[in-house]
Amino acid sequence: MEEINLKEVFDYFKSKILWIVIAIVAILIVGNVYTVITRVPMYESDTTIVLSGNKDSYSSTDSQINQNLIGTYREIIKSRNVLSQVIDNLDLKMSVDELANNITATSVEDTEIIRITVADDRAKDARDITDEVAKVFSDEVQDIYNLENVTIIDRADLASDPYNVNYVKDNIIYLIVGIVLSFGVVFIMYYFDTSIKSSETIEEKFGLTVIGVVPEEKE
Protein backbone atom coordinates (compact mmCIF):
# COMPACT_ATOMS: atom_id res chain seq x y z
CA MET A 1 0.00 0.00 0.00
CA GLU A 2 1.31 3.42 -0.98
CA GLU A 3 2.39 5.58 1.92
CA ILE A 4 0.60 8.89 2.36
CA ASN A 5 2.72 11.96 2.92
CA LEU A 6 0.88 13.95 5.56
CA LYS A 7 2.56 17.20 4.60
CA GLU A 8 1.57 16.61 1.00
CA VAL A 9 -2.00 15.90 2.08
CA PHE A 10 -2.06 19.06 4.18
CA ASP A 11 -0.71 21.16 1.32
CA TYR A 12 -3.27 19.65 -1.05
CA PHE A 13 -6.14 20.42 1.34
CA LYS A 14 -4.75 23.92 1.80
CA SER A 15 -4.82 24.46 -1.95
CA LYS A 16 -8.47 23.39 -2.02
CA ILE A 17 -9.58 25.43 1.00
CA LEU A 18 -11.72 27.79 -1.11
CA TRP A 19 -13.50 24.83 -2.69
CA ILE A 20 -14.09 23.31 0.76
CA VAL A 21 -15.56 26.54 2.14
CA ILE A 22 -17.84 26.94 -0.90
CA ALA A 23 -19.04 23.33 -0.55
CA ILE A 24 -19.81 23.74 3.17
CA VAL A 25 -21.69 27.03 2.59
CA ALA A 26 -23.63 25.44 -0.28
CA ILE A 27 -24.71 22.52 1.91
CA LEU A 28 -25.77 24.94 4.67
CA ILE A 29 -27.87 26.92 2.20
CA VAL A 30 -29.46 23.84 0.62
CA GLY A 31 -30.18 22.37 4.06
CA ASN A 32 -31.90 25.53 5.30
CA VAL A 33 -33.93 25.87 2.11
CA TYR A 34 -35.01 22.24 2.48
CA THR A 35 -36.01 22.88 6.10
CA VAL A 36 -38.05 25.97 5.24
CA ILE A 37 -39.80 24.34 2.27
CA THR A 38 -40.56 20.89 3.66
CA ARG A 39 -40.99 21.37 7.40
CA VAL A 40 -44.19 23.02 8.60
CA PRO A 41 -43.70 24.62 12.05
CA MET A 42 -46.00 22.90 14.56
CA TYR A 43 -47.01 24.23 17.96
CA GLU A 44 -48.10 22.24 21.01
CA SER A 45 -50.34 23.10 23.92
CA ASP A 46 -51.42 20.84 26.73
CA THR A 47 -53.80 20.76 29.64
CA THR A 48 -54.09 18.38 32.57
CA ILE A 49 -57.23 16.98 34.11
CA VAL A 50 -57.62 14.94 37.25
CA LEU A 51 -60.25 12.34 38.07
CA SER A 52 -61.70 13.44 41.37
CA GLY A 53 -64.78 12.63 43.42
CA ASN A 54 -67.00 13.87 46.18
CA LYS A 55 -64.86 16.00 48.49
CA ASP A 56 -66.73 14.86 51.62
CA SER A 57 -66.76 11.14 50.92
CA TYR A 58 -63.81 10.50 48.58
CA SER A 59 -62.29 7.14 49.47
CA SER A 60 -59.73 4.63 48.28
CA THR A 61 -62.58 2.88 46.44
CA ASP A 62 -63.27 6.04 44.44
CA SER A 63 -59.57 6.28 43.68
CA GLN A 64 -59.49 2.70 42.40
CA ILE A 65 -62.55 3.35 40.24
CA ASN A 66 -60.90 6.42 38.75
CA GLN A 67 -57.72 4.44 38.05
CA ASN A 68 -59.77 1.86 36.17
CA LEU A 69 -61.52 4.57 34.18
CA ILE A 70 -58.36 6.28 32.94
CA GLY A 71 -57.94 4.01 29.91
CA THR A 72 -61.59 4.44 28.98
CA TYR A 73 -61.44 8.21 29.42
CA ARG A 74 -58.40 8.43 27.13
CA GLU A 75 -60.43 6.76 24.39
CA ILE A 76 -63.42 9.02 25.00
CA ILE A 77 -61.20 12.10 24.63
CA LYS A 78 -60.38 11.08 21.04
CA SER A 79 -63.85 9.73 20.26
CA ARG A 80 -65.76 10.93 17.22
CA ASN A 81 -68.54 12.34 19.40
CA VAL A 82 -66.18 14.56 21.41
CA LEU A 83 -64.07 15.71 18.48
CA SER A 84 -67.02 16.49 16.22
CA GLN A 85 -68.38 18.78 18.94
CA VAL A 86 -64.99 20.49 19.23
CA ILE A 87 -64.91 21.04 15.47
CA ASP A 88 -68.39 22.52 15.47
CA ASN A 89 -67.79 24.72 18.53
CA LEU A 90 -64.56 26.21 17.12
CA ASP A 91 -65.63 26.10 13.45
CA LEU A 92 -62.50 24.17 12.49
CA LYS A 93 -61.75 23.38 8.85
CA MET A 94 -60.63 19.79 9.43
CA SER A 95 -62.07 16.32 9.68
CA VAL A 96 -62.46 14.27 12.85
CA ASP A 97 -59.63 11.97 11.76
CA GLU A 98 -57.29 14.90 11.10
CA LEU A 99 -58.03 16.35 14.51
CA ALA A 100 -57.60 12.96 16.19
CA ASN A 101 -54.12 12.63 14.66
CA ASN A 102 -53.12 15.92 16.31
CA ILE A 103 -54.31 14.94 19.79
CA THR A 104 -52.46 12.84 22.34
CA ALA A 105 -54.00 11.74 25.64
CA THR A 106 -51.55 10.26 28.15
CA SER A 107 -51.90 9.26 31.77
CA VAL A 108 -49.36 10.29 34.37
CA GLU A 109 -48.03 7.09 35.99
CA ASP A 110 -49.39 6.21 39.43
CA THR A 111 -51.78 9.18 39.41
CA GLU A 112 -55.33 9.95 38.35
CA ILE A 113 -54.12 12.68 36.00
CA ILE A 114 -54.57 12.71 32.23
CA ARG A 115 -52.59 15.10 30.03
CA ILE A 116 -54.20 16.23 26.78
CA THR A 117 -51.74 17.55 24.18
CA VAL A 118 -52.74 19.14 20.88
CA ALA A 119 -50.44 19.99 17.96
CA ASP A 120 -51.33 22.50 15.26
CA ASP A 121 -49.59 24.75 12.76
CA ARG A 122 -51.10 27.74 14.58
CA ALA A 123 -50.25 28.31 18.23
CA LYS A 124 -53.61 29.93 19.02
CA ASP A 125 -55.56 27.05 17.46
CA ALA A 126 -53.50 24.52 19.44
CA ARG A 127 -54.35 26.32 22.67
CA ASP A 128 -58.05 26.80 21.88
CA ILE A 129 -58.51 23.19 20.72
CA THR A 130 -56.82 21.87 23.87
CA ASP A 131 -59.10 23.81 26.20
CA GLU A 132 -62.20 22.93 24.17
CA VAL A 133 -61.37 19.21 24.12
CA ALA A 134 -61.04 19.20 27.92
CA LYS A 135 -64.34 21.07 28.33
CA VAL A 136 -66.32 18.90 25.89
CA PHE A 137 -64.83 15.73 27.36
CA SER A 138 -65.83 16.76 30.89
CA ASP A 139 -69.41 17.36 29.74
CA GLU A 140 -69.45 14.07 27.85
CA VAL A 141 -68.41 12.11 30.95
CA GLN A 142 -71.34 13.59 32.86
CA ASP A 143 -73.74 12.50 30.10
CA ILE A 144 -72.33 8.98 29.76
CA TYR A 145 -71.61 8.03 33.38
CA ASN A 146 -73.65 10.61 35.22
CA LEU A 147 -70.45 11.47 37.07
CA GLU A 148 -68.82 14.78 37.86
CA ASN A 149 -65.38 13.40 38.54
CA VAL A 150 -63.36 15.36 35.98
CA THR A 151 -61.56 18.53 37.09
CA ILE A 152 -59.37 20.66 34.85
CA ILE A 153 -56.11 21.45 36.65
CA ASP A 154 -54.28 23.66 34.15
CA ARG A 155 -55.57 25.53 31.15
CA ALA A 156 -53.51 25.43 27.98
CA ASP A 157 -50.83 28.07 27.36
CA LEU A 158 -50.00 29.75 24.08
CA ALA A 159 -46.82 28.18 22.65
CA SER A 160 -44.18 30.71 21.64
CA ASP A 161 -41.91 28.42 19.59
CA PRO A 162 -42.60 25.46 17.28
CA TYR A 163 -41.63 22.13 18.81
CA ASN A 164 -40.46 20.52 15.57
CA VAL A 165 -38.05 23.23 14.34
CA ASN A 166 -34.62 23.88 15.86
CA TYR A 167 -32.53 25.94 13.46
CA VAL A 168 -29.42 25.86 15.66
CA LYS A 169 -29.43 22.08 15.86
CA ASP A 170 -30.22 21.73 12.15
CA ASN A 171 -27.37 24.05 11.13
CA ILE A 172 -24.90 22.17 13.33
CA ILE A 173 -25.93 18.96 11.57
CA TYR A 174 -25.64 20.58 8.12
CA LEU A 175 -22.22 21.98 9.07
CA ILE A 176 -20.93 18.58 10.15
CA VAL A 177 -22.30 16.96 6.98
CA GLY A 178 -20.70 19.68 4.87
CA ILE A 179 -17.30 19.26 6.53
CA VAL A 180 -17.34 15.46 6.26
CA LEU A 181 -18.49 15.43 2.63
CA SER A 182 -16.15 18.18 1.42
CA PHE A 183 -13.11 16.72 3.20
CA GLY A 184 -14.00 13.25 1.95
CA VAL A 185 -14.29 14.41 -1.67
CA VAL A 186 -11.03 16.37 -1.48
CA PHE A 187 -9.20 13.35 -0.01
CA ILE A 188 -10.52 11.11 -2.80
CA MET A 189 -9.38 13.71 -5.35
CA TYR A 190 -5.95 13.73 -3.72
CA TYR A 191 -5.70 9.94 -3.54
CA PHE A 192 -6.43 9.46 -7.25
CA ASP A 193 -4.43 12.47 -8.37
CA THR A 194 -1.33 11.02 -10.11
CA SER A 195 0.23 14.32 -11.11
CA ILE A 196 3.66 15.28 -9.79
CA LYS A 197 3.27 18.03 -7.25
CA SER A 198 6.89 18.73 -6.26
CA SER A 199 10.50 18.00 -7.19
CA GLU A 200 10.86 16.06 -3.93
CA THR A 201 8.23 13.61 -5.16
CA ILE A 202 10.32 12.81 -8.25
CA GLU A 203 13.41 12.18 -6.16
CA GLU A 204 11.54 9.97 -3.67
CA LYS A 205 9.57 7.87 -6.14
CA PHE A 206 11.98 7.57 -9.06
CA GLY A 207 15.38 8.06 -7.44
CA LEU A 208 16.28 10.77 -9.97
CA THR A 209 18.13 13.97 -9.28
CA VAL A 210 16.26 17.09 -10.28
CA ILE A 211 18.57 19.50 -12.08
CA GLY A 212 16.06 22.23 -12.83
CA VAL A 213 12.58 23.40 -11.96
CA VAL A 214 10.30 25.57 -14.05
CA PRO A 215 8.44 27.81 -11.61
CA GLU A 216 4.67 28.19 -11.81
CA GLU A 217 3.64 31.66 -12.80
CA LYS A 218 0.56 32.99 -11.03
CA GLU A 219 -1.37 36.08 -12.07
- What tens digit of pLDDT does each residue of 64-114 get? 666 777 888 889 999 999 999 999 999 999 999 999 999 999 988 878 889
Calculate mean pLDDT across residues 163-191. 89
Asked if the structure places residue 219 within a domain, the reply is no
In a domain, 49, yes or no: yes
Q: Residues 92, 18: one domain?
A: no
Asked if residue 107 and residue 56 are part of one domain, the reply reads yes
Q: Are residues 30 and 84 in the same domain?
A: no
Q: Are residues 130 and 183 in the same domain?
A: no
Indicate whether 182 pLDDT > 60.
yes
Do 60 and 83 lie in one domain? The reply is yes
| Total length of the chain | 219
Residues 107 and 126 in one domain: yes
Residues 184 and 117 in one domain: no
pLDDT greater at residue 143 or residue 123:
123
Dihedral pair phi/psi, residue 124, rounded to 5°: -65, -40
pTM of full prediction above 0.75: no
Considering the domain architecture, whether residues 71 and 19 belong to the same structural domain is answered as no
136 and 47 within one domain: yes
- Collapsing DSSP states into helix, strand and coil, what is residue 57? coil
Tell me which residue range forms the domain holding 80.
43-154
One domain, residues 69 and 94: yes
State yes or no: pLDDT of 180 exceeds 80: yes
Report the CATH number at residue 145: 3.30.70.1130
Domain count, the chain: 2
CA distance 83 to 97: 9
88 lies in a domain?
yes
Same domain, 49 and 142: yes
